[in-house]
Amino acid sequence: MDRCIIGNVTVTRIPEREPQREPMFKFFPDLPEELVKANEHWLAPDHYHPPSRSMLLHFHSWLLQTPHHNILVDTCNGNHKPRPGLEMSDNLNTPFMERLMDAGVAPEDVDFVMCTHLHPDHVGWNTRLENGRWVPTFPNAKYLMSRIEHDIWAARSKDASRPQWSRNVYLDSVLPVVDNGMAVMVQGIHAVDDCFTIKPAPGHTAGTCRADLQSGGSGAVFCGDMLHTPLQVPYWQQTSRTCEDKPQAVKSRRELLEDCAGSRAILMPMHFGPPYVARINSSTAGFSLDFTGL
Ligand SMILES: [Zn+2]
């Protein structure tokens, strides 16, 4: 179990599935090969696999135990979710819940689930299968999600021209939460408690949000898929093919890195390999990484 203390808050990484290889130059269509070559010495082996020219995508949730609440940021892929056409998320069976309980938190102990966005690898454990029905996994939680993001995926779920996985993700992982009155639709800046604030950070998707933790003079920013690889710190202009609005994604990423560099908050993305998090330095040469182990 990987854990760190930020002020009065304990942050624990809850891993889900094993890391996946994604062809680097398909994922980043505009990425020059020589740029990766020049950075291979620090990208490999944790973030890049040179023989297959693939990046390594890790999958984990962040559990925050504040003095008042247990908060789970992003819920990975989930078990048994039908995702035809999206092999990475399709019909998984992982011991994610056992790992959460190993961290000392039972499903009923979770007060808030925060979804940075509604891609299938970020909302899967919102629900679980019970007697053939999808039910909220965390019975006492409020599920925080962007109103903009919710409405887009709700519309997509009704659009027969969309791939089946992108219709399923709303129907099996978001709608049951909404139907049970457990969703909180967030618009603009939203303070969850005295140390955890949700902020719009669009680009990867239209409703992508980040969550800023501030406690005891220390900070962290949970940024979901605003970056997929640490290479996007020095090369923050590089945007993946999964980002919907590329110029906006670049703008939000730059603001995120400036904020982390200015405040010394730890960057906590969803998909980085070990050590999973980093501090950000800023100089006239640009942004650089200072890997901070948990
Ligand atoms: Zn993701």
- Cα R_g (the chain), whole angstroms: 18
- Distance between Cα 5 and ligand 1 center (Å): 24
DSSP SS3 for 117? coil
pLDDT by residue (tens digit) across 127-162? 999 999 999 999 999 999 999 999 999 999 999 999
The burial of 289, by beta-carbon neighbours within 10 Å (0-12 exposed, 13-18 middle, 19 or more buried), is given as: middle
Task: State whether CATH 3.60.15.10 applies to domain 2-291.
Answer: yes
At a CB cut-off of 8 Å and minimum separation 6, what does 121 contact? 59, 76, 77, 88, 89, 270
Angle at 4 between CA 264 and CA 266, to 5 degrees: 20
- Distance between Cα 189 and ligand 1 center (Å): 22
- Distance between Cα 82 and ligand 1 center (Å): 17
Q: How far apart, in whole angstroms, are the C-alpha atoms of residue 94 and residue 79?
A: 7
Flag whether pLDDT at 122 surpasses 80: yes
- Distance between Cα 288 and ligand 1 center (Å): 22
Q: How far apart, in whole angstroms, are the C-alpha atoms of residue 37 and residue 45?
A: 13
Flag whether pLDDT at 294 surpasses 80: no
- Distance between Cα 60 and ligand 1 center (Å): 10
Beta-carbon count within 10 A of 248 CB: 17
The answer to whether the CB of 280 falls within 8 A of the CB of 263 is no
pTM over 0.85: yes
pLDDT by residue (tens digit) across 232-252? 999 999 999 999 999 999 999
DSSP 244: S
DSSP 124: G
- Distance between Cα 95 and ligand 1 center (Å): 19
The answer to whether the CB of 78 falls within 8 A of the CB of 40 is no
Tokens read off for 154: 């709700």
Flag whether pLDDT at 76 surpasses 50: yes
- Distance between Cα 120 and ligand 1 center (Å): 8
% of the chain exceeding 90 in pLDDT = 98
DSSP SS3 for 287? strand
Confidence category of residue 1, pLDDT binned at 50, 70, 90: very low
- Distance between Cα 280 and ligand 1 center (Å): 21
- Distance between Cα 225 and ligand 1 center (Å): 5
- Distance between Cα 242 and ligand 1 center (Å): 9
Q: In what order do the strands lie in the sheet with 183-186?
A: 2-6, 9-15, 60-65, 70-73, 112-114, 142-146, 183-186
pLDDT of residue 203: 98
What integer is the mean pLDDT of 56-85? 97
- Distance between Cα 132 and ligand 1 center (Å): 26
pLDDT by residue (tens digit) across 195-222? 999 999 999 999 999 999 999 999 999 9
- Distance between Cα 27 and ligand 1 center (Å): 12
The answer to whether the CB of 242 falls within 8 A of the CB of 28 is no
- Distance between Cα 121 and ligand 1 center (Å): 5
pLDDT of residue 293: 58
Q: How far apart, in whole angstroms, are the C-alpha atoms of residue 112 and residue 97?
A: 16
Report helix, strand and coil shares of the chain as percent, to nearest 5: 30, 30, 40
% of the chain exceeding 70 in pLDDT = 99
